[in-house]
Amino acid sequence: MISLAENKERIALLTSGGDASGMNAAIRAVTRYSIYNNYEVIGFYEGYKGLINNNFDILNLNSVSGIIDRGGTILYSARSEEFKTEDGQKKAIENLKKNNVEKLIVIGGDGTFRGAHDLHKKGIKAIGIPATIDNDIAGTDYSIGFDTALNVIIDIMSKIRDTASSHDRLFVIEVMGRQSGVIAVNAGVASAADYILIPEVDFDLVKIANEIRNHRKGKRHTLVIVAEGVGKANDIASSIKLLAGHEVRVSVLGHIQRGGSPSAMDRILAARLGQKAVDALMDGKSDAMVGYQGKEIKIIDFEYIFKYKRKIDKNLYDLAFILSL
Ligand code: ATP
């Protein structure tokens, strides 16, 4: 076991759930701001799995050097079913206590915060930093990784549009979002998609196919964005082809959406949320997330986050159709 410096309070840090670009920028911010405030930082690997296996390293200024522009997470991520059990959480608590850790910052999504909530109930001061490309967490306008994912998608959409308009083609593009159409709506507006199919809003494939068959909005390209929660892009493409009698190409973007160097916005968000998370712990706060609201960084109880889910912006969704006419 690595010996820890005496006389210093410790803050543990982990990343968990789906990786999101900008997690590294958050790790850097938490580590450097904690050290600046005279704390020692312990980074646990692979989320809650690392807590159970006592797999960690001390993070110093050098450990987080040169990572601000890297996607993924240097602390790695994992999904741990064992951590959801009483036994798993007991092991995690034992390891935290053994290493003199009473304060923890978790970077991840809703599931990650539920884990942190359990640890809080068992005596650990726990604060969450929202990082998920889905941007589906209530209480924060943006989660780390969302802006980068959107930029990746619109870049690909431009490339698809080039080939689509050259060949007079119709494309169905599947983006992430099993339960939420937030990515699809925002990417659709930003890339001028013709149709946006999301789980939250019913759509009429026959009507869409009729429009495509009759005039295709007068364009040589038609771009249909589909959130994965709506169904398989290939099945939707087959239905449109059958109903509209028009050749359809499919592009499933998949994990490409998670990767890449974080956008400026995600890096700045990570810096500000990281700082606030450390401040919150220093103020004795726990069982809460730091979130971006308007122009302010606020502390929002986990209780609120578990109660509410972020909804799509219906006005933005409607505007997408008006602007794509
Ligand atoms: P994403 O939005 O990217 O999926 P997430 O944080 O919601 O991120 P999950 O896989 O749901 O990702 O959760 C990450 C980990 O948090 C799980 O593998 C598990 O260890 C822990 N966790 C999830 N739900 C709970 C829960 N109800 N109680 C305790 N721990 C949980």
Residues of the chain with pLDDT under 50: 1
How far is residue 134's CA from residue 71's CA, in Å, rounded to a whole number?
Answer: 16
Q: Is residue 228 part of a domain?
A: yes
- Crossing angle of the two packed helices 233-244 and 205-214, in degrees rounded to 10: 50
Query: Do residues 98 and 3 touch, judged by C-beta distance below 8 A?
Result: no
In this predicted structure, what is the pLDDT of residue 8? 87
CATH (domain of 233)? 3.40.50.460
In this predicted structure, what is the pLDDT of residue 15? 98
The alpha carbon of 48 and the centre of ligand 1 are apart by a number of angstroms equal to: 9
**What tokens appear for 192 in the block?**
């001028």
**Whether residue 155 sits in one domain with residue 117:** no
Domain span including residue 287: 9-145+262-307
Q: Is residue 4 part of a domain?
A: no
CA angle, residues 60, 3, 59, in degrees to nearest 5: 15
Q: Is residue 66 part of a domain?
A: yes
Count of structural domains, the chain: 2
**Whether residue 268 sits in one domain with residue 132:** yes
In this predicted structure, what is the pLDDT of residue 278? 98
Q: Return mean pLDDT, the chain.
A: 93
Q: How confident is the model over 154-189, as pLDDT tens digits?
A: 999 999 998 888 887 899 999 999 889 999 999 999
In this predicted structure, what is the pLDDT of residue 6? 61
Q: How confident is the model over 280-306, as pLDDT tens digits?
A: 999 999 999 999 999 899 999 999 999
Return the best residue to mutate from 15, 75, 76, 84 for the ligand 1 pocket (most ligand atoms within 8 A of CB).
84
User: Pick the catalytic residue: 19, 110, 118, 134?
Assistant: 134
Q: Is 235 a catalytic residue?
A: no
The alpha carbon of 129 and the centre of ligand 1 are apart by a number of angstroms equal to: 13
**What global pTM score does this model have?**
0.94
Atom 14 of ligand 1: nearest residue by CA position: 17
Domain boundary pick from 258, 275, 296: 258
CATH (domain of 67)? 3.40.50.450
Residue 43 burial by Cβ neighbours in a 10 Å radius (0-12, 13-18, 19+): buried
**Whether residue 102 sits in one domain with residue 170:** no
**In whole angstroms, how far apart are CA 200 and each of 9, 160, 182, 317?**
46, 26, 10, 11
In this predicted structure, what is the pLDDT of residue 99? 97
Atom 17 of ligand 1: nearest residue by CA position: 79
The alpha carbon of 53 and the centre of ligand 1 are apart by a number of angstroms equal to: 17
**Whether residue 138 sits in one domain with residue 30:** yes
Beta strands, E only, 113-241: 125-130, 170-175, 195-197, 222-227
Return the best residue to mutate from 45, 51, 79, 82 for the ligand 1 pocket (most ligand atoms within 8 A of CB).
79
